[in-house]
Amino acid sequence: MILKFLRLLKILRVLVKYGLDEIAISGFDKPGINRFLDTAFFWRDISTPRAIRLRLALEELGPIFVKLGQVLSTRSDLMPPDIVAELSKLQDRVPPFDSELAIAQIERSLGAHPDQLFARFERVPVASASIAQVHFAALPDGTQVAVKVLRPGMKKLIDEDVALMNLAADFINRLWKDAHRLKMKEVVYEFDKYLHDELDLMREAANAAQLRRNFADSNLLLVPEMYWDYCSPSVITMERMHGIPVSHIDRLVEAGVDLKKLGSDGVEIFFTQVFRDGFFHADMHPGNILVSIDPATFGRYIALDFGIVGTLNDYDKDYLSQNFLAFFRRDYKRVAEAHIESGWAPKNTRVDELESAVRACCEPIFDRPLKDISFGQILLRLFQTSRRFNVEVQPQLVLLQKTLLNIEGMGRVLDPDLDLWKTAKPHLERWVSEQVGWRGLVERLKAEAPRYSHILPQLPRLTHQALIAMGERDPSTNELLRQLAEEQRRTNRLLSFFVFFVGAFVAGAVGFQAYLRWRGVM
């Protein structure tokens, strides 16, 4: 309890030091309170922009709060643009923990000492973050691997800091009249879930396996293989990948990598994940991307760190493709209709009003050359406009927008003339063609055929059982059943008469032809 109180005091001290209470007091109606707080904290310098002060405060509070800032930087639908841009600079760098603790964690999780499990295990970690650190090793057969080990004591620390964040969210909601717009409690809940998901490294391993399977036949992306015999919720072992970080442009040029192709390939990889698979790597910043210079896989991207992935269902993909295509055709009415049809905008929303708002927001974008238009900025503007019409932006789309901005930024560093629309358009049109028309119908029928082949033969029996059940609940249904039975008997009699008549007619015609032939022969 004393430690929690001391931790809370430290948080309050840091918040006051960087003037973050300024955001809260801006919501006070009484100017006297504002003057009192300004006088009480006369000693501090808050001339630095608020976004920078917020980033510095989170860095001083430690790795859990740095993670919170990274999560907030993905919520461009909630946070002001200046704060989103600054929080995107947060780097998850913390000192490594003692290697003996890592060895103990491996022994506890995998049931043996690393020296027994591996032919070689490097004590000095090669990378360290707030949740885990990585050691290089070699399997008994000589395969080079990377071993990721969870930082000890993280669950307790996360639970304590998240509890304090919930208290802070309640406090801010009481003090600041506009705090409800930021949905602080929802953000803390999302952050809590995000961190506890990261504590299970098997989830990350499964994400990597899925992405590797999706790109098994691709010549664009490499994903490390997971060695499941050496994996647990707190330790995972994967193939060691060799390459040049994508941000090291000089080294890539020296190695002979085609930067223009690399930029285009990155955009193609992203849109393939989104529109073909509905499963995308959502943490594709330059620190998690290498470029292979091995002759067999030269120039391919290498993806690392799969703790954050996004998933999209068919409705999400349809929403994105329809909106992107409509945007670049400047068909703002279709954009408005797509919002309402998807159910994200209330059904009583006037199409013309939403169309007008989207036009006013996005038309200035098209004053630029097409190659300079940002998909991420389009989505961001769309989310901001949608807020006026009570549109609930889906979390997976916010995550996608953040990832798309990373991809665009990386692509344009590699190739300033990269035309994102030219690269993305074939993927959008292919998705639309697969969903609309005969091709889409055939594909969906093929996908549903196994289910229907099982259900269809049962339909008569199930219908009969349902009608009997209805009759037991409602006596009037018995009369309906009697009428149906009578109608069925009447139909059977008509069918019998028709079959008899047609059969007699055919038999008579055949007999008459036979008689004529017999007379002719005679």
Q: How many whole angstroms separate alpha carbon 171 and alpha carbon 167?
A: 6
Distances (CA, A) of 372 to 32, 140, 254, 298, 412: 48, 51, 28, 29, 9
CA trace torsion 72, 76, 80, 86 (10° rounding): 60
Q: Which of 436, 443, 376, 367 is nearest to 403 (CA)?
A: 376
Q: How many whole angstroms separate alpha carbon 241 and alpha carbon 52?
A: 35
CA 131 to centroid of chain Cα atoms: 21
Chain position carrying tokens 């639309």? 432
Active-site residue (options: 77, 161, 283, 305): 283
Distances (CA, A) of 419 to 9, 50, 412: 51, 35, 9
What is the total residue count of the chain? 522
In this structure, are residues 142 and 119 in contact, taking their beta carbons and an 8 Å threshold? yes
Q: How many whole angstroms separate alpha carbon 135 and alpha carbon 121?
A: 7
3-state SS, residue 203: helix
3-state SS, residue 409: helix
Q: 77-115 burial string, b = 16+ CB within 10 Å, else e? A: bbbeeebbebbbebeeeeebbebeebbebbbebbeeebe
Q: Which of 92, 93, 91, 144 is nearest to 119 (CA)?
A: 144
Q: How many whole angstroms separate alpha carbon 140 and alpha carbon 154?
A: 31
Q: How many whole angstroms separate alpha carbon 68 and alpha carbon 361?
A: 30
Question: Which H or E run contains 476?
Answer: helix 475-521
Eight-class DSSP state of 299: T
Q: How many whole angstroms separate alpha carbon 320 and alpha carbon 270?
A: 13
| Catalytic residue check, 45 | no
Q: Which of 422, 414, 407, 406 is nearest to 258 (CA)?
A: 414
Eight-class DSSP state of 218: -
H helices of 111-200, in order, are: 114-117, 154-175, 184-198
Distances (CA, A) of 28 to 185, 268, 297, 443: 20, 49, 60, 58
What are the residue numbers of the active site?
283
